[in-house]
Amino acid sequence: MLVQDGTPALGAAFAGFRARAVVICFIIAMVDGYDTLMMSFIAPVLVRDWGLSPVEMGQIFGIGYAGAVVGSFLMGPAADRFGRRLVLVAALALAAAGTLLCSVADTPAELMLFRFVAAIGLGGAMPAIVVLTAEHTAPERRSGMVTLMFVGFPLGAVLGGAITAALLHLGWRAIFVGGGVAALLVLPLALLIPETLSRHDEAHRPQGGIAASLSGQFGEGRLPAVLAIWAGVFSILLLSYFLISWTPTVLVQAGLSPQRAAIGGVLLNAGGIVGAIGLSFLINRFGPFRPVAALVAAGAVLVVLMGQNVGASVAMVAVVVATGACIIGGQLNIPAMAVRLFPQAVRGAGVAWAMGIGRVGSIIGPMLGGILLAADLGWPTLFLIAAAPALVAALAFLVADRVRPRSGS
């Protein structure tokens, strides 16, 4: 029943508005996930049309990941200083413009330049929506809601991959146009998200450059926990992108046809979605650190099992899905850990730098995988080595939980 001044009605309306803000962030995450992994879907057509070598195609992949790192490192601190929504709108506009320009590239060099521009925007958009989701959610549900929102990233990649497969007969340029238009379509939605930094926060916003941003992240006793999270994020992203890049090759060795093996990345991401959703209920109760550490440690065991099951196709597929649930599912909870650690004044930079450090690992992982494959170590040995980053990540997340300041957690 309403009280005389209508306060409950206003409260319900505000809660509904905040929920819509989280839904908008989820939709933007889907577009970001699709645009980020778009090159993976159209690479075979680019190689065919332009006669690219694996090295040249690898450079195009790498420039995208590098642009995302730059976007995370630059736009995260900017969000703390100028506002989350403003930076998100700018990031989406940059991503849309760069992606549309990719559709008219005439040379690999032009494509790399435009892809780098687009990736800066993509790298800057994700930390912004993570922070906006966190700050539009009640503290007791914040970590779990951030994880559920972040599930939009791999979901967008999965759905985008299916759409691309259906439309690839139109050519790779049309796929870039579609990605750019998708980014433009969600841009007005970003304008509907209320800003979470008010004028009252002005005195607490970092006013310097990168050094001031880092100082703010490390302040109030957070330095050991921040370094531990960075080590964990780097390790888990290194392993995740190793698996995403090389699992199809392993599945072929397990006896699957190349066509069926190509779904290896989809299986990993699908398992990751299931794992992240399941874990989101636990982290609302126990926090993100210990549950993620346990899941990633279990993933290390499963990575070892992958090496033991090469040649047993049915068992291999089951292990791939379970590995995705643990490794990719754990990775999807990284923003929840960063949100839990950092206060509002430096939350944008904290989330962005953690994700940027992780993206460095995503660049190294596939390259390291190629080196290990070229060394012809044998599958059991190769995957035993690959499991090591998961153990490092699990230990790092436990250390971060132990040494982090408890105030405001």
Looking at per-residue pLDDT, the higher value among 92 and 332 belongs to 92
Q: Where are the alpha helices (DSSP H) in 83-222?
A: 84-102, 108-135, 142-150, 152-167, 172-191, 210-218
pLDDT, position 5: 47
Q: Kindly give, in sequence order, each residue whose CB lies less than 8 Å from that of residue 214, ignoring residues fewer than 6 positions away.
A: 349, 353
pLDDT, position 15: 58
pLDDT, position 173: 92
pLDDT class for 8, splitting at 50, 70, 90?
A: very low
pLDDT class for 1, splitting at 50, 70, 90?
A: very low
Instruction: Give CA separation, 343 vs 120, 232, 286, 291, 310, in Å.
Output: 25, 20, 19, 22, 46
The residue-averaged pLDDT of 43-51 equals 83
CA distance 293 to 289: 6
Q: For 356-386, how does the pLDDT look when each residue is reduced to its tens digit (9 = 90+)? A: 888 888 888 877 877 787 787 888 888 899 9
Whether 75 shows a pLDDT value over 90: the answer reads no
Q: What percent of the chain has a predicted confidence (pLDDT) above 70?
A: 86
Enclosing H/E stretch for 283 = helix 264-286
Q: For 205-251, how does the pLDDT look when each residue is reduced to its tens digit (9 = 90+)? A: 555 556 666 777 887 788 999 999 999 999 999 998 888 777 776 77
pLDDT, position 24: 93
Q: For 128-164, how does the pLDDT look when each residue is reduced to its tens digit (9 = 90+)? A: 898 899 888 887 788 788 888 888 988 888 788 778 7
